[in-house]
Structure 1
Amino acid sequence: MPGPRLPLAALAATGSALLVRRALRRRIGASPLWPLPALEEPVSGRPRSRALRLLVTRHERIADGVVLLRLEGAALPGWEPGAHLDLVLPSGRVRSYSLCGDPADRTAYTVAVRLVADGRGGSREAHELLRAGSEVEVRGPRNRFPLADAPEHLLVAGGIGITPLLPMLRALDAAGTPWRLLYRGRGRASMPFLDEIGRLDAGRGRVTVSDGPGRPPLEALFRDIAPGTAVQVCGPAGLMDAVARALPAGCAPHRERFTASVEPGGEDTEFEVELRRSGRTVRVPADSTALAAVRAVLPDTPYSCEQGFCGTCRQRVLEGRVDHRDTLLTDAERAGSMLLCVSRARGGRLALDL
């Protein structure tokens, strides 16, 4: 008779990737063993996160137009609330999704994906092709939206923007840190995780769910914010801008965007990019991007949103002045790096550590 089945975490602790893969194969009926995780080459003088091949073990519709994907492996890199993961979809498209599972679970990553009917096709691939039993390459995790250190927290989510905030809520609740949540959506049927959020609230009045017409003005909801409260906002650009306007003076939100808000730059002119480590130089036409020019000769150069808000295509600048057009990088980060997908050169030439 077969022996007792160990949980995946226990198998992972044995150090045997083969045992974990076989356990996952039995669980979902997948036939092939997926490749061992591989390390990517260093980028811009710093190690890049590992690229991993993970197995989709759960594909579940959790709200109208939203599917939850559980991606399992062994001894996965750790992460903290606010982190996101890059998924390399079957077409080769790369899309970033916030992690919404348990950071303590080193055997799986969990993301939730909303179908964008008029999008560029990434969300449709995630919905239709990443079924239980399929494999997917992931990169990361990365965190550009960490949970702020503060005595109290106000979290504001718009639709699928709840995904990075959910692990924050769990962490704050476990630590006994005061928090409130405003969760807005078009309708409750399209708003994922309402049941879990209700359990976290447990009738204590910390959650305001606002859907459909007749929403109360944000100013009324934010009137009693205590000094020092950290405000974390994720959702459509319109909601985040409205929150920033409605907050009391001196209270600035920490934001994560799911759509771009690229800052205007100078005139789009042709420029030259030297790829110092590769010994190549490429021309960037006025009607194209540095990312496209670089990927023409270095096709493995990472990218995702192509709109200047995710940070995946960030590279170190060795020489030249950058016309920064993103809304992600801080002034300190801009001093030595750029996002290839939207930013350009001031002065006609840049040198990158590529």
Structure 2
Amino acid sequence: MSLSSSGVALSSPGRAQPLRVRVAARRPVAERVEEFVLTAASGDPLPAWSAGSHVDLVAPSGVVRQYSLCPADPGVYRVVVERRADGRGGSVSVHDDLAVGDETWISLPRNHFALTRALEYVFVAGGIGITPILALVDEARTAGRPWRLLYIGRTRAEMAYADDLVSAHPDHVTVHESRVSGRLTLSDALTGSARGTAVYGCGPAAMLDAIADACAPQPAVDSFTERFTAAVAESVPNREFELSLAMSGVTLTVPEDRTILEALDGSGVVAPSSCREGMCGTCETGVVSGEVDHRDAVLSPEERSENESMMICVSRCTSGRLVLEL
């Protein structure tokens, strides 16, 4: 297992080691929103990544949070952090305590929001949800596919890069300030999308639900979303089950009132984790056997049906016995 300087587990046997990074620059890009440019503390280029990727970042307080990677020069990472007083303190610590020249740890990039092939794209960003969308827009442009962006926020002053996007792509970007123009009805904005359109959204849960509802009845229009909070899923009632770890030979019982991750913690088995809400993908673990009740906001319906991996911080077993690659 590898630990950050704060003692936070970012990797374990079989997983890639975390990266030590230095803050090369930071600047405000909107109200309560700061941009951080990260370079490898070793001086080597940081690994390549794909549009839609995010990294775990250890805040000075020790809290680990996930941030999407924004377009940047090769070998350099750029993340954007909104200061949120209602969270677990990670963003506040990053804003207040992570200065230019400081070092911290990040994970290697992971991608659960990659751009699929489509005839054209519609991107919908709500507030800080613009961060993964920026790289997806760049990839769509590079592919030469038609695209448009609908960027929604309370006020323009709170919307990172809004002016830059409109200036660079005036015919493709629409900025909607809800405090000025009222609430936007997404069904009106998305209805009538051409067949073969892929709609990508990142933002508040209500916005993402509205995107799914607007796209569902349209033929050959698919929606893909990335959430700030885990979706509420319809699951079977919690039941106790037996858990076996194929690699370590450990067998234990997961009671109905504890998650797999909590049971492992209680047994002294270390597994990588971060959000513990089924959102970030850090705890994704391979499934050897057993039926999984998926409760995360990471895996696609197709990935869930394959039953090859699960998020052990929230998902459970419905078959009485589960064997994991741990």
Determine if the TM-score, normalized by the shorter chain, exceeds 0.5: yes
Alignment deviations for residues 34-70 of structure 1 (CA, whole Å, 9 cap, x no partner): 9xxxx95554xxxx34411000122322111111111
The 8 Å contact of residues 59 and 130 in structure 1, kept in 2 or not, is answered as no
Match of 2:107 in 1: 139
Pair 1:268-2:238 in alignment: yes
Alpha carbons of structure 1 residues 94 and 216: separation in structure 2 relative to 1, 3 Å: closer
Q: Which amino acid aligns with 1:337?
A: S
What CA distance in whole angstroms lies between the structure 2 residues aligned with 1:173 and 1:133? 34
What CA distance in whole angstroms lies between the structure 2 residues aligned with 1:252 and 1:101? 25
Alpha carbons of structure 1 residues 40 and 325: separation in structure 2 relative to 1, 3 Å: closer
SS in 1 for 2:265: helix
Q: Which amino acid aligns with 1:51?
A: P
What CA distance in whole angstroms lies between the structure 2 residues aligned with 1:198 and 1:267? 48
Alignment deviations for residues 276-321 of structure 1 (CA, whole Å, 9 cap, x no partner): 2223233333222111222344564211221112221111122322
Which of 157, 163, 170 is the matching residue for 1:195?
A: 163
Which of 311, 320, 325 is the matching residue for 1:348?
A: 320
Q: Residues 115-264 of structure 1: matches in 2 within 5 Å?
A: 115-201=83-169, 203-204=170-171, 206-213=172-179, 214-247=182-215, 249-250=218-219, 251-264=221-234
Alpha carbons of structure 1 residues 40 and 236: separation in structure 2 relative to 1, 3 Å: closer
Alpha carbons of structure 1 residues 173 and 325: separation in structure 2 relative to 1, 3 Å: closer
Alpha carbons of structure 1 residues 91 and 301: separation in structure 2 relative to 1, 3 Å: farther
Alpha carbons of structure 1 residues 217 and 262: separation in structure 2 relative to 1, 3 Å: closer
Identical-pair percentage: 45
Deviation at 1:331, TM superposition (A): 4.7
The 8 Å contact of residues 262 and 307 in structure 1, kept in 2 or not, is answered as no
Which of 35, 55, 60 is the matching residue for 1:90?
A: 60
Q: Which amino acid aligns with 1:113?
A: V
Q: Which amino acid aligns with 2:174?
A: T
SS in 1 for 2:258: coil
RMSD: 2.3
SS in 2 for 1:55: strand
How many residue pairs get matched? 309
SS in 1 for 2:280: coil
Q: Which amino acid aligns with 1:126?
A: V
What CA distance in whole angstroms lies between the structure 1 residues aligned with 2:176 and 2:104? 35
What CA distance in whole angstroms lies between the structure 2 residues aligned with 1:266 and 1:197? 44
Deviation at 1:225, TM superposition (A): 2.2
Match of 1:24 in 2: none
Q: Residues 3-14 of structure 1: matches in 2 within 5 Å?
A: none
The 8 Å contact of residues 87 and 95 in structure 1, kept in 2 or not, is answered as yes
- TM-score w.r.t. the length of structure 2 is 0.87
Alpha carbons of structure 1 residues 159 and 290: separation in structure 2 relative to 1, 3 Å: same
Deviation at 1:175, TM superposition (A): 4.3
Q: Which amino acid aligns with 1:326?
A: D
SS in 2 for 1:252: strand
What CA distance in whole angstroms lies between the structure 1 residues aligned with 2:213 and 2:272? 35
Which of 303, 308, 328 is the matching residue for 2:278?
A: 308
SS in 2 for 1:140: coil
- TM-score w.r.t. the length of structure 1 is 0.80
Q: Which amino acid aligns with 1:192?
A: A
The 8 Å contact of residues 311 and 339 in structure 1, kept in 2 or not, is answered as yes
SS in 2 for 1:238: helix
The 8 Å contact of residues 263 and 327 in structure 1, kept in 2 or not, is answered as no
Pair 1:52-2:13 in alignment: no
SS in 2 for 1:173: helix
Match of 1:295 in 2: 265
SS in 1 for 2:108: strand
Match of 1:114 in 2: 82
Deviation at 1:139, TM superposition (A): 0.7
SS in 1 for 2:248: coil
Deviation at 1:269, TM superposition (A): 2.9
Alpha carbons of structure 1 residues 346 and 304: separation in structure 2 relative to 1, 3 Å: same
The 8 Å contact of residues 162 and 183 in structure 1, kept in 2 or not, is answered as yes
Q: Which runs of 5+ in 1 are unaligned?
A: 1-33
Match of 1:22 in 2: none
What CA distance in whole angstroms lies between the structure 1 residues aligned with 2:177 and 2:196? 28
Alpha carbons of structure 1 residues 324 and 167: separation in structure 2 relative to 1, 3 Å: closer
SS in 2 for 1:316: strand
Which of 63, 66, 71 is the matching residue for 2:33?
A: 66
- Higher mean C-alpha displacement, 139-148 vs 92-101: 92-101
- Higher mean C-alpha displacement, 213-222 vs 132-141: 213-222
Q: Which amino acid aligns with 2:34?
A: V
Q: Which runs of 5+ in 2 are unaligned?
A: none
SS in 2 for 1:170: helix
Deviation at 1:71, TM superposition (A): 1.1
For the pair shown, the structure with the greater C-alpha radius of gyration is 1
Match of 1:14 in 2: none
- Higher mean C-alpha displacement, 337-346 vs 239-248: 239-248
